Amino acid sequence: MIDILGGAFRDILFYGQVHAEDVIEMPGGTGYNVFAGLREIGIESVFHCAIGDDWPFENLRHVRGKSGIFVCRNETEILAVYRGVNLDPPVEEIKSKILFSTFECGGSTFEKYARAMKNSGGMVILDPSPVFEWKKEYADLCDLLIPNENEFESISSLEFKKVFLKLGENGGKYIQDTVEISKNISKKGKFPLGCGDAFDVAVIYGLLTGKSPEKTLEMAVDLGQSVSFLRGSSSAVVEAVKTAKKCFFKTTEK
């Protein structure tokens, strides 16, 4: 089991130019996408989030307020991110010994959950997005970072125990002390929106199942690459995981 702290957004995705050829709406946010991907594998997860009373999708617990909204055009330009009630989630009891978190719910909320996990002797995994929420004191709360290249550059003056670095079309890298392991992608798709979230899913799976850093990085890069050929956000992550279960994910009992 794993606890997940992150955003739940109404993703509104525009494909085409000014007059969009297609518009897709679905649940999204890194927190939600990772939760959905792990659920598809069969890993039991507790998703800590805040969903507004206008949420039109899954039957998750709602709170008063407006849901977060993420708008993206052509998979390349983020037009708007409104975090909404994501910034005011209730603080709930952690249920496992591993916390995966983003900053979508704000740095102060991350800190509360991370301190609770560390006080219980557990592990904290952080995808530091949006990176402007980062504070140097958070370094002591993190056992593992999963940043992209820009995020890592913003905070790399600090020392970390372990890093799985997302490099987009250049693949990924595992960093621990003086050890660095790189993995390149073989093909590049046109839809990078959910690639980083899929990378996170594979890293978490590798840690939960005791895979080596080399194997975990290979799975993460391969899954992220698969998503780049699929339109959508959470739907693309879930579809890539379904395919990957035939290759390297073994479904676990819920």
User: Residue 161 — pLDDT band, cuts 50, 70, 90?
Assistant: confident
From residue 220, give the alpha-carbon distance in Å to each of 97, 182, 206: 22, 12, 9
Note whether residue 252 is domain-resident. no
pLDDT score recorded for residue 1: 93
pLDDT higher at 6 or 254: 6
Domain range enclosing 73: 2-244
Handedness of CA 28, 3, 134, 160 (dihedral sign): negative
Task: Report residue 9 as tokens.
Answer: 């957004």
User: Tens of pLDDT along 16-34?
Assistant: 877 778 889 999 999 999 9
Note whether residue 184 is domain-resident. yes
pLDDT score recorded for residue 232: 92
Note whether residue 16 is domain-resident. yes
Domains contained in the chain, number: 1
Is the pLDDT at 193 greater than 80? The verdict is: yes
- CB-count burial class (<10 Å; 0-12, 13-18, 19+) for 45: buried
Note whether residue 250 is domain-resident. no
User: Tens of pLDDT along 92-121?
Assistant: 999 999 999 999 999 999 999 999 999 999
pLDDT score recorded for residue 247: 79
Quote the crossing angle between the two packed helices 213-227 and 234-244, to the nearest 10°: 130
Q: Which of 85, 110, 86 is nearest to 3 (CA)?
A: 110
Note whether residue 123 is domain-resident. yes
From residue 78, give the alpha-carbon distance in Å to each of 130, 193, 239: 13, 10, 23
Note whether residue 63 is domain-resident. yes
Predicted TM-score of the model (pTM):
0.93
User: Tens of pLDDT along 218-247?
Assistant: 999 999 999 999 999 999 999 999 999 887
**CATH number, domain at 92?**
3.40.1190.20
Residue 107 CA to residue 138 CA, distance in Å, equals 9
Note whether residue 216 is domain-resident. yes
Is the pLDDT at 253 greater than 50? The verdict is: no
pLDDT higher at 205 or 66: 205
Note whether residue 251 is domain-resident. no
User: Tens of pLDDT along 55-68?
Assistant: 766 666 667 788 89
The strand ranges marked E within the chain are 2-5, 9-16, 20-28, 45-48, 51-52, 62-63, 68-73, 77-82, 98-102, 123-127, 144-145, 163-166, 172-176, 179-183
